[in-house]
Amino acid sequence: MDEFEQARVQAMKNGREGAAVNATKEKSILSGHRIERSEVGGPGELDALPDDELERALLERLSALGQR
């Protein structure tokens, strides 16, 4: 985190506001203040699945993401 803060300060000194914003975003992600999420699959894709198939599909997706 210190490295991103140093990068942010240096970017501001050099008039590179975009770089400063990017460093701030990275700090917020690393500190847990910002969580990036993305939707997997199409809208309503899992709505029609029976519970056991839904559980299997979710476990497969977690496994693919390295969460299980």
Tens-place pLDDT, residues 25-62: 989 988 988 888 877 778 888 788 899 998 998 898 88
Q: How confident is the model at residue 68 (pLDDT cuts 50, 70, 90)?
A: low
Burial of 67 (0-12, 13-18, 19+ CB in 10 A): exposed
Mean pLDDT of the chain: 87
Q: What is the pLDDT of residue 54?
A: 87
| CA-angle at 57, arms to 38 and 42, nearest 5° | 45
